[in-house]
Amino acid sequence: MVLFRGDIKCKSLQRRTSISVILPADNIHFLQDSEEIVPQPYKTLYLLHGLYGSDDIFLANTSIQKFAEDWGIAIVIPCGENSFYVDNENAHAYYGEYVGQELLDITRNIFPLSSKREDTFIAGFSMGGYGAIRNGLKYSKNFSKIGMVSAALITDDIVNYTDDNNVLRSSSFYESCFGNLDKVKNSDKDPKYLLENCDDIPDIFMACGVDDFLYGRNVDFYEFLKSRNIDVEFIQDSGEHTWDFCDKYVKEFIKRL
């Protein structure tokens, strides 16, 4: 297993930004005196963190690095700040464009990653789960599978938020990400709208704990998918909005790749 951590110059964000990259190379078992070779180019999962996170947070809070080695898959983790991975035109911070297209171009140029759609996947936890479905659909030509764990599927609700000191309930915070909240519905920041207008919908995997504060929103989205006869796997398990739940179900998504 090889782990790279560094920064790249990013046109979409007009600055340098950090990334972590896990590669299933040099899988050497010293005690057994053996080595497993994963064929290149590697299948790749672009994995998006949640609110308050950064590109190293999965490395600190999950066992994803070892799991990627065991399953022979590359994982690219960008830093999404608190952006919800959407395009903020006023700040020239096009996070959607970044994770949906430019990040793929950059990492494929540096690392031996597959350029095939069937080998390229996007997933995320919490805010990253929203980012995965939004950009997995908007850039569906690039991704064959989308994984959402405890996804922050909040776009139906944020128009009703008021100003609050808690960022999770703050309309001013969400305006800084999404712009005019009255215009989110039926826009390319609305996953339901994107689903209605996507010609080649990637396979969708969802998981959410029944005690998670986002559980109701995930159930609503699942029911929307089923009402449109869209194939989706939704695992509802005991659990809350925790790293233990995230660790378990990001791994379950990887098993399906």
* pLDDT for residue 30: 63
For the chain, give the percent of residues with pLDDT over 90.
86
* pLDDT for residue 184: 96
* pLDDT for residue 37: 80
Domains of the chain are: 2-255 (3.40.50.1820)
How far apart CA 175 and CA 164 sit, in angstroms, is: 13
State yes or no: pLDDT of 35 exceeds 80. Answer: no
* pLDDT for residue 34: 67
- 202-223 pLDDT, tens digit per residue, is 999 999 999 999 999 999 999 9
Contacts of 135 (CB under 8 A, 6+ apart): 85, 96, 99, 100, 122
pLDDT bin (cut points 50, 70, 90) of residue 47 is very high
DSSP-based three-state secondary structure for 217? helix
Among residues 4, 7, 23, the alpha carbon closest in space to that of 112 is found at 23
Provide the total of helices (H) and of strands (E) in the chain, helices listed first.
9, 12
